[in-house]
Amino acid sequence: MKVLVPIKRVIDYNVKVRVKADNSDVDLANTKMAINPFCEIAVEEAVRLKEAGTATEVIVVSIGDKSCQEQLRTALALGADRAIQIDTADSLDALNIAKLLQKIVEEEQPQLVILGKQSIDSDNNQTGQMLAALTGLPQGTFASEVKVEGDKVNVTREVDGGLQTVALNLPAIVTTDLRLNEPRYASLPNIMKAKRKPLAVKPVADFGLDLTARTKLVKVTPPAQRQAGIVVESVDELVEKLKNEAKVIS
Partner 1 sequence: MSILVIAEHDNATLKAETLKTVAAAQKIGGDVTLLVAGFNCQNAVDAAAKVNGVSKVLVADNAAYEHQLAENVSLLVTELAGDYEHILATALTTGKNFMPRVAALLDVAQISDIIDVESSDTFVRPIYAGNAIATVQSLDSKKVITVRTTGFDAVATDGNAEVVNLDTVTDAGTSSHVSDELTVSERPDLGAAGVVISGGRGMQNGDNFKLLDGIADKLGAAIGASRAAVDAGFVPNDMQVGQTGKIVAPDLYIAVGISGAIQHLAGMKDSKVIVAINKDPEAPIFQVADYGIVADLFDALPELEGKL
Specify the DSSP element, H or E, that contains 3.
Answer: strand 2-7
Strands (E) in 8-161, as ranges, are 9-11, 18-19, 26-27, 33-35, 57-64, 82-87, 112-116, 139-149, 152-159
Side chain identity at residue 144, one-letter code? S
Looking at 49-57, 71-79, 183-191, 237-245, which segment touches partner 1 (CB under 8 A)?
237-245
Q: Which is nearer to partner 1, 53 or 223 (CB)?
A: 223
Distance in Å, CB of 113 to partner 1, minimum: 14
DSSP reduced 3-state for 152: strand
The answer to the question of residue 181 lying near partner 1 (CB under 8 A) is no
The answer to the question of residue 150 lying near partner 1 (CB under 8 A) is no
Distance in Å, CB of 129 to partner 1, minimum: 4
Residues between 20 and 39 that touch partner 1 (CB under 8 A) = 26
Residues between 100 and 119 that touch partner 1 (CB under 8 A) = none
Looking at 15-23, 53-61, 73-81, 200-208, which segment touches partner 1 (CB under 8 A)?
15-23
The answer to the question of residue 223 lying near partner 1 (CB under 8 A) is yes
DSSP secondary structure string for all residues of 10-46: EE-TTSPPEE-TTSSSEE-TT--EEE-HHHHHHHHHH
Binding-site residue total for partner 1 (CB under 8 A)?
Answer: 77
The answer to the question of residue 164 lying near partner 1 (CB under 8 A) is yes
39 phi, psi to nearest 5 deg: -70, -35
Residues between 189 and 218 that touch partner 1 (CB under 8 A) = 213-218
| Beta-sheet pairing, 18-19 with 26-27 | antiparallel
226 phi, psi to nearest 5 deg: -85, 135
Q: Which residue from 192, 113, 183, 193 is spatially nearest to 153, judged by alpha carbons? A: 113
Binding mask of the shown chain, residues 75 to 104, with x at each position contacting partner 1 by CB under 8 A: ------------------xxx--x------
Residues between 123 and 142 that touch partner 1 (CB under 8 A) = 123-134, 136-139, 141-142
The answer to the question of residue 179 lying near partner 1 (CB under 8 A) is yes
The single residue among 163, 192, 200, 201 that binds partner 1, judged by CB under 8 A, is 163
Residue 20 has a CB neighbour count (10 Å cut-off) of 13
